[in-house]
Structure 1
């Protein structure tokens, strides 16, 4: 753990059913050395994802490149839900930027929990036997987590509704209302991403434009920190690119949802006029 950092709830989190389930993917003799950093670096979780999804290409990941590892994991999880489970993840994705910037805080624990919950949703169909090996209380908690994820329409959007037949106007109306709520949520997420990008750009500009006429000792310190700033700048650029990509993907989802909603509204009117 980082020097000087103490998070009382961290020990409790590491004993939670979600972490217990994750540890079943490790050799038994290594579980005693498992800690929060093994979740944060993303290497082990990417390995689990490669076991779950046959289409996921194993990556040669290093623990030092945390933001790349976690971003890759989130993208693979999102595609697995969409392509394999035929579901869209509507809840905001885990905040990779927060996990890399301030990993030892209460909000970071919530983001890791969200990440593990989505990963569990990927594995539940193919790894039910692994879950059955856990203690009764842990199995019950895992079942509750699965229900929390899959039964909440605000978390996942089932793409099987595209197969709804024309003779079900009531169901079409419910889906249309649900889609409108999802569109509003996506717009809120888009605005949040835009604000984050703006803040990163401001930090980037303020850090890369030192004031002229600074005292010589300050200039020396700046020159001495030049390499460190270059690393931070490259990391900020990577974060901005990732956020822009997520923003573009959210915008595409909004357009798709709007198009489908318009089609459904038109179809619903036709059905009601019959």
Structure 2
């Protein structure tokens, strides 16, 4: 029997963690509620209540355009938090919110929703509410806790994902990390070039069809 990527994702440690923000104590969260951006937007507002990223969401999105607007607002808030609060630049590949909005409740958007959720987790454990967030993580079973810790490592103190602003000059990079940091930057540059080429080719392909 083929696996169900949505069910597997909804049973994952990341989703178990974000369920701790449900007002009913958890259990009612659906994949559709994650994919439309509203619930995660509210989570971001809870951990970073400055101004919601300066945007509002449609709480009853009925089409791809409404979902895209919500997800764009969420992503804007996430990037704002990393840049303005943590003084870091997100350098990992950003979630493709267009794919999520088009997929709706379909499984095609699962990897992108996971990426969004991972970034929200990174914000939450470094936010002013981090003590409450960590306390709630400690209430989960040990296997789930371990999995969440591994997820946290992906987006905190990891230059593969976020680049500290203090490393903007070579003198600021610790000497024992210079070689590794250079290699990471080279990989980021290559990825950015590939993404640029992909964006350039996309309209050409669409135009030729």
TM class, shorter-length = 0.7 to 0.9
Q: How far apart, in 2, do the equivalents of 1:128 and 1:80 lie?
A: 18
Task: Give the Cα separation in 2 of the matches to 1:141 and 1:168.
Answer: 29
2:47 to 35, 46, 52: 52
* Correspondence for 1:63 among 60, 63, 70: 60
Q: Does the 8 A contact of 2:56 with 2:73 survive in 1?
A: no
Q: State the number of aligned residues.
A: 197
2:155·2:161 contact (CA, 8 Å) conserved in 1?
A: yes
| Structure 1 partner of 2:28 | 33
Residue pairs, 1:41-190, within 5 angstroms: 41-57=36-52, 59-64=56-61, 65-125=66-126, 126=130, 127-150=133-156, 152-162=158-168, 165=171, 175-190=181-196
Q: Aligned Cα RMSD in Å?
A: 2.8
> Deviation at 1:110?
1.1
Kindly state the Cα deviation for residue 195 of structure 1 after the two structures are TM-superposed. Answer: 2.9
| C-alpha displacement of 1:168 | 6.4
Would the aligned equivalents of 1:121 and 1:146 in 2 still touch at CA under 8 Å?
yes
Q: Does the 8 Å contact 2:57/2:73 carry over to 1?
A: no
Q: 2: CA distance between counterparts of 1:120 and 1:87?
A: 15
Gapped runs of 5+ residues in structure 2? none
C-alpha contact 2:159 2:181 (8 A) present in aligned 1: no
User: Deviations along 1:146-196, whole A, 9 cap, x unmatched?
Assistant: 113335432221222137647966655654443333222222222222233
- Which whole-Å CA distance do the structure 1 matches of 2:49 and 2:134 have between them? 17
Write the distance in 2 (CA, Å) between the matches of 1:150 and 1:114: 14
Do the aligned partners of residues 170 and 95 (structure 1) sit closer, same or farther apart at CA in structure 2, a change above 3 Å counting?
same
Q: Report which structure shows greater RCO (CA 8 Å, sep ≥6).
A: 2
The answer for unaligned runs of 5 or more in structure 1 is 1-5, 207-274
1:156-235 alignment runs, 5 A limit: 156-162=162-168, 165=171, 175-199=181-205, 202=207
Larger Rg: 1
